[in-house]
Structure 1
């Protein structure tokens, strides 16, 4: 992972440069940026980075599943290490930073909130989005919904998440032809991270952000937990109850592992 304190050649308006620190949680360096700080950084930086032909920034997320996979899957760990910024998608990650000594993560930056809350600022600034992932029906409906939610939002393009290895060059060509500022990649862990790392130097975008099942949450295909569950770190329980066949085994295995990893790495 690149050091968040150095290496950013882009000019920042006075007072706008974000907090550069990371909190080390469960063996992963997670940005301490708040949700709003992350959105501000993306909306400001992504169009500028693309216009200056800077390499795309890789932005990955960290939650209980990610903590577990980082420790148990060497290929995923290698891909995650290539991120320029890892944000706290899970409330347990935020809470853990407050249990440990060192920098504290400002708040949870769930990918769904990051996306939805960024729509109007992106529309106002002219930042162009590209949606990659989901089924064709979900991807198309998501595109329709967000352009209705944020009039003026520039949707550079979209594509479903189903392609073969032989199709990958064509997928990259289509993205580059659309010239997005932010490419949202929602094909699920670990496929989305592997795709981003493998193609980061071929993709012409300002930021590349992995987003899992985001498009399904925007369309309502996947229900979100009540706000009290989100704030108390129980959104995973809501997801497990509402989608038991897909998620029960994942949460029952990765959550205890993640807690153990947080304890194991508690000294940094």
Structure 2
């Protein structure tokens, strides 16, 4: 029998023009459970530095993020930046950790997840590892991320008919955001979240940084060392743009705060 205690209070803040929800990991998990119990659609977006920077020049992505139900803080760069602006972010809610917590809950309480995205062999390996790690886990279905726009309606219909309790989408930004903007309601899945590279981690093809590097905000450096040709310039460029944006906002607030107040 499923029995859960729910905490529904959510505080949302504006950070550099995009919303973030001030939730802990536990509170986010509870929101997901609530959605699966009530079958009320809840769309979770994991906000990291790369997505925030990209959204500044992509109006559609910015709109898609703003229209999601939960914008989780996934990245120490966002945590520190928001706190520097006086936003009380309780903690980082990493997408990998959230997905793993939800898979454990699915196994324990007979919720059925659906996976969409990633390369076929990576996805199959991830699902095999998940079954070994969480005995009793039952999948509603899965499909790799290599399909055309013409195939999308059929895939959406298959997911809808599966009656999945949650959907993990392992597709790149902004593709997954575009997909959900068009089909979120048609999917009829209670809890939906993008998981990015979390499937690669679950499959064992990508290793997570040690806990110390995660908490110190150096997970990007660890990933860069794993895949230097693909990741190094991407992280360096994105982090530089983010630092400039944040520095500009801090300077702006300092200037406004120093100006004399007129009655």
How high is the TM-score relative to the length of structure 1? 0.87
In the TM superposition, what whole-angstrom CA distance separates every residue of 1:149-199 from its partner, at most 9, and x where no partner exists?
Answer: 111222111110110011101110111121111111111111011111111
Is 1:21 equivalent to 2:11 in the alignment? yes
Per-residue CA deviations over 1:45-85 (Å, capped at 9, x if unaligned) read 232232xxx3x222111111011011122222122222111
- Does the 8 Å CA contact 2:113/2:168 hold for their aligned counterparts? yes
Deviates further, 147-156 or 170-179: 147-156
**Separation (CA, whole Å) in 2 of partners of 1:122 and 1:202:** 22
Contact conserved, 1:45 with 1:206, CA < 8 A, in 2?
A: no
Select between 250-259 and 181-190 the one with higher mean Cα deviation: 250-259
RMSD in angstroms over aligned alpha carbons?
Answer: 1.8
Q: How many residues align?
A: 249
Decide whether the 8 Å contact of 1:26 with 1:258 is kept in 2: no
> Could you say which residue in structure 2 is the equivalent of 1:204?
188
> Would the aligned equivalents of 1:176 and 1:204 in 2 still touch at CA under 8 Å?
yes
Shift of 1:19: 3.8
Greater RCO (Cα-Cα under 8 Å, separation 6 or more): 1
1:99 aligns to what? 84
Residue 185 of structure 1: aligned partner = 169
2: CA distance, partners of 1:177 / 1:41:
24
Q: Unpaired runs of 5+ in structure 2?
A: 254-263
Q: 224-233 or 18-27, which moves further after superposition?
A: 18-27
Quote how far apart the aligned CAs of 1:97 are.
2.5
For structure 1, the residue ranges without an aligned partner over 5 or more in a row are 1-11
Q: Considering only CA atoms, is the larger Rg found in Structure 1 or Structure 2? A: 2
CA-to-aligned-CA distance 1:10-33 (integer Å, 9 cap, x gap): xx97x7324411233222211111
Matched with 2:148 is 164
Tell me which protein shows more helix as a share of its residues.
Answer: 2
Quote the offset at 1:265 in angstroms. 4.0
1:39 to 10, 29, 36: 29
Task: Give 1:72's aligned residue.
Answer: 57
Task: Give 4+ residue runs of structure 1 displaced > 6 Å after superposition.
Answer: none
For the Cα contact (< 8 Å) 2:19–2:66, is it kept in 1? no
8 Å Cα contact 1:129-1:157 kept in structure 2: yes
Give yes or no for the alignment of 1:84 onto 2:69.
yes
Does the 8 Å contact 2:7/2:30 carry over to 1? no
Equivalent position to 2:138, from 139, 143, 154: 154
Secondary structure of 2:56's aligned partner: helix
> 1:233, 1:61 → 2: CA distance?
16
